[in-house]
Structure 1
Amino acid sequence: MPQPPSPLDAVVFDMDGVLTDTETIWDEVRRSLAAADGLPWPDGASEAMLGMSTPEWSQYMAATVGVRGDAREVAERVIDEMARRYHEHLPTLPGAVEAVTRLAARWPLGLASSSPRRLIDASLDALGIAACFRATVSTEEVARGKPAPDGYARVCELLGADPARTVAIEDSSNGLRSASAAGMIVVAVPHQAFPPAPDALAVTAAQVRTLDDVTPDLLEALAPPR
């Protein structure tokens, strides 16, 4: 029997920290570059870079942390090591594949990630869910990374979706702020290693413990009436 029309247009996932458990790997790799160059890790650097686009975090690493090379060289060093680590093992958060397939059966899906395109494509292919997404955007493909709304706004544009009727599923402070700034319905699935700040959680419509809690019934209950 056909499903009744939904009050939602689409659902957009973040990737790192929501589908793949890679936020800690990014942190380890960046810290290892600083350590290899004999540099201390600045307080707050890990949190500051969550959600930044590749040009933004590589410039931060070069200018603020002080690692060797310019932003382009720093990005290349980090992404090469991330790709090597992914090839060895891509950790997936519990329920990630199931959540994507469950929601893809009901709505068009998008993805807005701070990862570079190379790692987005490799991750979705490795998880076997690339075909579930109608639009994917890396923040290196828009003007500004998270917490700016650019990545989420672009995914909604590609999906032909009204942001006010589109759910964003995020974990980080900057990701939550980004989706909210784009005018979306924001659901937080906080990552234990990098819990969101109270002000970021304040913009969410719902907070859940795991992706198993992200059900069609929950998301439709958050949608404005048609």
Structure 2
Amino acid sequence: MFDLDGVLVDSEPVWEEVRRAFVAEHGGTWQPDTQSRLMGMSTAEWASYLHSLGVSLPPAEIARGVVERMAARYRDEVPLMPGAVEVVRRLYGTVTLGLASSSPRTLIDVALDAARLKECFAATVSTEEVERGKPAPDGYLEAARRLGVDPRECVAVEDSSNGLRSAHAAGLRVIAVPHPRYPPAPDALALAWRVLPGLDALTAELLP
């Protein structure tokens, strides 16, 4: 099971740029730890958090405004991580692939359609569709349920602290591919079964 943001799509810099600008435009104050806190949150969670930073709009309007800006950026160009398309297509047909992402459904579909990878995934889950976002295990548990498999028989590919914690809490083995700009916390990285230097290093032979 893949995460999307920071694993297949180099979206975290775009998320940070869009949300920073939105916060500034609507009277809020971005904090030094804001980006790390936001990584893995569901849409409702991060919209509420931005509201707590002083953004004058209600959370539902914050979410709608930010997601619209993100979708517009993706329609111009989806910033894929190096090797993302090649790795997914290499594994497709060899193992069953799923995706558990904190992105809203709209952005998951736009990104996978643009990369022509949608057909590769037997199940995709947005944390909008479960009760809690990462680091809670809900997204991975739901993805496993949709695939009809035991989570303990699955491997997650994650980059962020909250993502690593989420997959581990769900009982999956976790392969960490740390993002160079947003590395996970040491205690979260310690939960990984394997740590890879980049997505290109992920092969079927590494999987149990």
What TM-score results when the alignment is normalised by the length of structure 2?
Answer: 0.98
Q: Which amino acid aligns with 1:57?
A: W
CA shift, 1:163, in A, is 1.2
User: What's the counterpart of residue 119 of structure 1?
Assistant: 107
CA shift, 1:68, in A, is 2.1
Task: Give the Cα separation in 2 of the matches to 1:217 and 1:119.
Answer: 31
Task: Give the Cα separation in 2 of the matches to 1:84 and 1:68.
Answer: 23
User: What's the counterpart of residue 132 of structure 1?
Assistant: 120
Task: Give the Cα separation in 2 of the matches to 1:60 and 1:18.
Answer: 24
CA shift, 1:198, in A, is 0.4
Task: Give the Cα separation in 2 of the matches to 1:39 and 1:122.
Answer: 29
Tell me if 1:179 matches 2:163: no
Structure with more contact order per residue of length (Cα contacts < 8 Å, sep ≥ 6): 1
User: What's the counterpart of residue 144 of structure 2?
Assistant: 156
Which one of 131, 134, 154 corresponds to residue 146 of structure 1? Answer: 134
User: What's the counterpart of residue 32 of structure 1?
Assistant: 21
Contact 2:28 2:56 in 1 (8 A): no
Following superposition, which runs of at least 4 residues in structure 1 exceed 2 angstroms of deviation? 37-40
CA shift, 1:101, in A, is 1.1
Which one of 73, 77, 80 corresponds to residue 65 of structure 2? Answer: 77
Aligned-partner SS, 2:207: helix
Contact 2:5 2:12 in 1 (8 A): yes
Give 1:189-200 correspondences, 5 Å limit. 189-200=177-188
Quick one: percent identity of the two aligned structures?
A: 54
Contact 2:4 2:100 in 1 (8 A): yes
RMSD: 0.8
Task: Give the Cα separation in 2 of the matches to 1:160 and 1:47.
Answer: 32
Of the two, which has the highest radius of gyration? 1
Unaligned runs of 5+ in 2: none
User: What's the counterpart of residue 43 of structure 1?
Assistant: 32
